[in-house]
Amino acid sequence: MSRISIPSPETTVTASKPLLAAVQQQLGVTPNLMKLVGHSAAALEGYLALNGATAKGKLNVQLRERIALTIAEFNGCDYCLSAHSYLAHNVAKISDQEINSARAANSIDARISAALEFARSVAQTHGNVADSDLAKLRTAGFDEAETIEIVVNVALNVLTNYVNNVAQTDIDFPRVAHLAHA
pLDDT in tens, the chain (182 residues): 899 999 999 999 999 999 999 999 998 999 999 999 999 999 999 999 999 999 999 999 999 999 999 999 999 999 999 999 999 999 999 999 999 999 999 999 999 999 999 999 999 999 999 999 999 999 999 999 999 999 999 999 999 999 999 999 999 999 999 987 65
Amino acid identity of 36? L
Q: Of the candidates 150, 151, 69, which has an alpha carbon nearest to the alpha carbon of residue 103? A: 69
Angle at 69 between CA 84 and CA 170, to 5 degrees: 50
Do 36 and 85 fall into the same domain?
no
Do 121 and 88 fall into the same domain?
yes
Q: Which pLDDT belongs to residue 181?
A: 61
Decide if 8 is inside a domain.
no
Residue 111 contacts residue 140 (beta carbons within 8 Å): yes
Do 24 and 73 fall into the same domain?
no
CB under 8 Å to 65, separation ≥6 — which residues?
Answer: 84, 87, 88, 91, 92, 94, 102
Domain that includes residue 39, residue range: 14-55
Decide if 175 is inside a domain.
no
Q: How many domains does the chain have?
A: 2
Half-sphere exposure of 59 (CA within 13 A, CB side): 31
Decide if 2 is inside a domain.
no
Do 51 and 69 fall into the same domain?
no
Decide if 179 is inside a domain.
no
pTM of the model: 0.96
Do 39 and 96 fall into the same domain?
no
Q: Which pLDDT belongs to residue 180?
A: 74
Decide if 1 is inside a domain.
no
Q: Which pLDDT belongs to residue 127?
A: 98
Decide if 5 is inside a domain.
no
Q: Of the candidates 98, 87, 24, 77, which has an alpha carbon nearest to the alpha carbon of residue 55? A: 87
